[in-house]
């Protein structure tokens, strides 16, 4: 394995050094090929996503395929503008001259993706790397094996094998890749593996982008439209059976609105998935037995009351959409990111208490606040920190190409989407160009009294 990975990397680096990926037209054509891969391979990918995660076709198309294709449209429209040199101000002391920042590709990028959105979270950063002019090694998750295999087949068929490679496999293959001297590493997943990636990258001083997670809170003020808040919270939470890094992880609701919110959440779950979500074609499944057992263990260990759901079936890897009430801050479901269809609801006395609760915990990837009051929203924004924020919405902030998507602190470092992805996979190179005349002697030694006087005036 070592020799084959090393040979692959040597071949990709030769491709990069020969300049194949630098011309904008090559980048554009390769991005169009990615779009064709998603469009013409749609049936194969949808079938694989359903086999791995029970994803309904409409949800998979929306969250895994269409979102990526739309982002590539943005790249194609703007690639020329993003790539142009950016002129910067020249101080008087440095005149005459011309200063600019040029974007150049980093080289060979490694993209490691998770299993929960195995197309989107692999192909979108791949596309950003290609758009910035890099060669790419893509490592899909072995926990979504059907999707991994489908992407590997399709990439061979549609993408330029001189510049793009897909490496399948598990932990051993990932470790083998991390031992190689890549020019940048983009990892999406959990914090534990993120530390391993960062440690491996440090051996080669390789820059990393880490898209992690965390317990994304949802604050519901008493003055909001509870029915709308409940629908949007339930949709964001139970999409993909709760296996979404930006899903609402828990709710902090004003005590005066708690009962109404729980009732509205119950109504929303029933409207989405019927009386028995197990029979719904629109509700997914837990990815494997390990994660099922983890989530089932959380439900078994809590003393909180399932106001909605609570049922499970290991044979189907099914856990019902579950709303927990009576949850305390020390409950096990409040320790780590749940990453499943379990939503704790905690009551708070006021907005200040909710802000304090969030501020005392690690910075999450996303934060949601539902309120009609601009002042309340501003209080939440001023008193908390998170990778991103949704006001009166959940999850959809990542579908805006102009917004950077990424975490802060333990929820990640670096960002992508739209131009932010192009910048993540680019080096911003400083260039200063000066004519050879005039060549004023005042800057050179020996520094006479007259020169010092003039330099003081100029500086």
| Whole-Å CA distances, 129 to 4, 110, 150 | 23, 9, 21
The second-level CATH assignment, the architecture, of 217-399 is 3-Layer(aba) Sandwich (3.40)
Catalytic residue among 30, 71, 211, 337: 211
pLDDT tens-place string over residues 300-309: 988 888 999 9
Percent of the chain residues topping a pLDDT of 70: 99
DSSP 3-state assignment of 438? coil
Residue 186 has pLDDT above 80, yes or no: yes
Catalytic residue among 30, 59, 135, 245: 245
Q: What is the pLDDT of residue 392?
A: 98
To the nearest whole number, what is the mean pLDDT of the chain?
96
Q: In the annotation, is 135 catalytic?
A: no
Angle at which helix 374-383 crosses helix 351-359, to 10 degrees, equals: 20
* Helical residues (DSSP H) of 21-95, grouped into ranges: 24-40, 42-53, 57-60, 67-83
pLDDT tens-place string over residues 262-314: 999 999 999 999 999 999 999 999 999 999 999 999 999 888 889 999 999 99
Q: C-alpha 176: how far from its chain's center?
A: 24
* Helical residues (DSSP H) of 117-257, grouped into ranges: 120-131, 145-158, 171-178, 191-203, 226-238
pLDDT tens-place string over residues 148-168: 999 999 999 999 999 999 999
Distance (Å, whole) CA 398 – CA 406: 9
pLDDT tens-place string over residues 93-111: 788 999 999 999 999 999 9
Distance (Å, whole) CA 113 – CA 211: 10
Check if the beta carbon of residue 255 is closer than 8 Å to that of residue 326: no
pLDDT band at 456 (very low <50, low <70, confident <90, very high): confident
User: What is the average pLDDT across 69-79?
Assistant: 97
The answer to whether 2-212+412-431 and 217-399 have equal CATH topology is no
Q: What is the pLDDT of residue 1?
A: 54
Angle at which helix 258-273 crosses helix 226-238, to 10 degrees, equals: 50
| Whole-Å CA distances, 382 to 214, 279, 391, 395 | 20, 43, 14, 21
Per domain, the residue ranges of the chain are 2-212+412-431, 217-399
Q: What is the pLDDT of residue 2?
A: 63
Q: What is the pLDDT of residue 17?
A: 97
Q: What is the pLDDT of residue 445?
A: 94
Burial of 151 (0-12, 13-18, 19+ CB in 10 A): buried
pLDDT band at 354 (very low <50, low <70, confident <90, very high): very high
Q: What is the pLDDT of residue 194?
A: 96
Q: List the one residue out of 132, 120, 160 whose CA is nearest residue 23.
A: 132
Q: In the annotation, is 245 catalytic?
A: yes
Q: C-alpha 294: how far from its chain's center?
A: 23
pLDDT tens-place string over residues 7-33: 999 999 999 999 999 999 999 999 999
| Whole-Å CA distances, 177 to 11, 115, 137, 233, 342 | 15, 18, 9, 38, 35
66: enclosing H helix or E strand? none
Residue 179 has pLDDT above 90, yes or no: yes
> For residue 182, what are the contacts with CB-CB under 8 A and spacing of at least 6?
9, 107, 108, 109, 110, 137, 201, 204, 206
**CATH topology for 2-212+412-431?**
Aldehyde Dehydrogenase; Chain A, domain 1 (3.40.605)
């Amino acid at each position: 394995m070592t020799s084959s990975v090393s040979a692959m990397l040597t071949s990709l680096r030769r491709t990069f050094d020969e300049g194949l990926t630098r011309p904008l037209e090559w980048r554009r054509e390769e991005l169009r090929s990615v779009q064709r891969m998603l469009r013409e391979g749609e049936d194969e990918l949808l079938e694989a996503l359903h086999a791995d995660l029970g994803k309904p076709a409409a949800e998979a198309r929306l969250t895994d395929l269409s979102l990526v294709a739309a982002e590539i449209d943005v790249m194609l429209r703007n690639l020329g503008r993003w790539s142009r040199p950016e002129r910067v101000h020249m101080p008087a002391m440095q005149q005459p001259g011309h200063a600019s920042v040029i974007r150049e590709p980093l080289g060979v990028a490694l993209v490691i993706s998770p299993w929960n959105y195995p197309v989107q979270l692999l192909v979108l950063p791949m596309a950003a790397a290609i758009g910035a002019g890099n060669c790419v090694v893509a490592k899909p998750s072995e926990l979504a094996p059907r999707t991994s295999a489908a992407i590997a087949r399709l990439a061979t068929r549609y993408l330029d094998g001189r510049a793009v490679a897909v490496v399948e496999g598990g932990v051993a293959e990932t470790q083998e890749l991390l031992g190689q001297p890549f020019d940048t590493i983009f990892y999406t997943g959990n914090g534990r593996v993120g530390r391993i990636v960062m440690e491996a990258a440090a051996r080669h001083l390789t820059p990393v982008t880490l898209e992690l997670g965390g317990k994304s809170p949802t604050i519901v003020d008493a003055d909001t439209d509870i029915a709308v808040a409940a629908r949007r919270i339930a949709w964001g939470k139970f999409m993909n059976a709760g296996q979404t890094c930006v899903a609402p992880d828990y709710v902090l609701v004003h005590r005066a609105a708690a009962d109404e919110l729980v009732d509205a959440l119950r109504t929303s779950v029933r409207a989405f998935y019927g009386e028995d979500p197990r029979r719904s074609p629109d509700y997914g499944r837990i990815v494997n037995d390990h994660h099922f057992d983890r989530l089932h263990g959380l439900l078994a260990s809590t003393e909180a009351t399932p106001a909605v759901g609570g049922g499970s079936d290991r044979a189907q890897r099914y856990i019902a959409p579950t709303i927990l009430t009576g949850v305390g801050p020390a409950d096990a479901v409040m320790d780590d990111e749940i990453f499943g269809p379990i939503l704790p609801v905690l009551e708070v006395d006021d907005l200040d208490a909710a802000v304090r609760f969030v501020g005392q915990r690690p910075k999450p990837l996303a934060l949601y606040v539902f309120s009609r009051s601009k002042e309340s929203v501003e209080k939440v924004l001023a008193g908390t920190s998170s990778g991103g924020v949704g006001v009166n919405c959940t999850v959809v902030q990542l579908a805006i190409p102009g917004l950077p998507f990424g975490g802060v602190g333990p929820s990640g470092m670096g960002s992508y989407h739209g131009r932010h992805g192009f910048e993540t996979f680019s080096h911003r190179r400083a260039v200063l160009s000066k004519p050879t005349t005039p060549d004023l002697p005042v800057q050179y030694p020996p520094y006479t009294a007259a020169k010092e006087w003039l330099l003081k005036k100029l500086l």
